[in-house]
Amino acid sequence: MVGQPGARLGGASLGGDPRAPHRAWRDECGRDIPAPETGETVVNDTALKLDVGRKFSEAAAVGGAVIDLAAAKAEEKAKFVCRGVRVHYGAKEALHGVDMDVPDAGVTALIGPSGCGKSTFLRVFNRMNDTIPGARVSGSVLMDGADIYAKGVDPVLLRARVGMVFQKPNPFPKSIYENVAYGPRIHGLAASRGELDAIVEGSLKKAALWEEVKDRLKEPGTGLSGGQQQRLVIARAIAVRPEVILMDEPASALDPIATARLEELIDELRKNYCIIIVTHSMAQAARVSQKTAFFHLGDLVEFGDTRAIFTNPKDQRTQDYITGRTG
């Protein structure tokens, strides 16, 4: 893992010998955070700000390749710069050296057949693969120029900046209000009840749910419909002010009407957040995303503008997938 000397994440130095390998996962990580089924961990994002005091003008050597980070940023500002990313589950390699620059604005869709590695790649961005026993991540993943896998980076703090919405809605067994207020309260984002109320209301409004629940905030979040629960989970995620929202098949358990509402919400949220979404629906990817990446058998086959991917793919494997010849 390559770390850029001088960059800091959450107060932890990312410096050191850039040639030194990193530990891909830590034994204690599972004890520090909830399992994926529990949902995202919420922490005070004000304690987690990047202090990148210098420009990344020099090249960084990663896995034998030379990457000019300044040139990459000049072409298009990237939230994440990934080089040579590999993920192993035990002896099996699930991702085979993925290179990708994820834009810091808009929606990036990850598509491909089941088992192709798209969800594995999604979990790279908030280190959720760390929670899977035997998982190992190698390569370079920079967020705003800082190595998120560098020694000393706290994955829990990272997940405050990179929220996640899972396939199945997973509201806490609490009231609607408490689902959203929980994170900001325990991590000190609100100095008073009035400020907390404002965060709850603002988050529910951003998630397009406020008008539907404002008169029943004390009712259980689990009593909402599936689509409402998913929007509640999104409100819970954005209540701690993340910069990135990861979505893993967020509409797979929803009916067509709820799916349409969710897609409208994604289109609104993309104005303020970097969103990365995994979807099996090519139609959904075409509707909501500006960039699309096609994965096949652990390889990133093609990545580019969504319109170009769907109308003029460069690789025959992409063409076969989007036309239904393979799946």
Mean pLDDT of 167-176: 94
pLDDT of residue 76: 64
Question: Quick one: tokens of 32?
Answer: 């520090």
Residue 101 exposed, middle or buried by CB count within 10 Å (0-12, 13-18, 19+): buried
Domains of the chain, residue spans: 75-323
Q: What is the pLDDT of residue 238?
A: 94
Burial, 42: exposed, middle or buried (Cβ in 10 Å; 0-12, 13-18, 19+)? buried
Residue 86, beta-bridge partner list: 138
Which position has the token pair 């929007």? 231
> Residue 108: is its pLDDT beyond 60?
yes
Q: Which pLDDT score, from 0 to 100, does residue 157 have?
A: 87
Give pLDDT, residue 10. Answer: 38
Q: Of 67-76, 116-125, 126-135, 312-321, which gets the smallest average pLDDT?
A: 67-76
In the numeric block, the tokens 């409208």 are attached to 264
327 confidence band (pLDDT: 50, 70, 90): low
What pLDDT digit, counting tens, does each position of 36-68 carry? 333 333 333 333 333 322 222 232 333 333 334
Residue 298 near residue 96 (C-beta atoms within 8 A): yes
Please say if the pLDDT value at position 170 is more than 60. Answer: yes
At residue 131, what are phi and psi to the nearest 5 degrees?
-85, -5
Whether 17 has a pLDDT exceeding 80, the answer reads no
CATH number of 75-323: 3.40.50.300
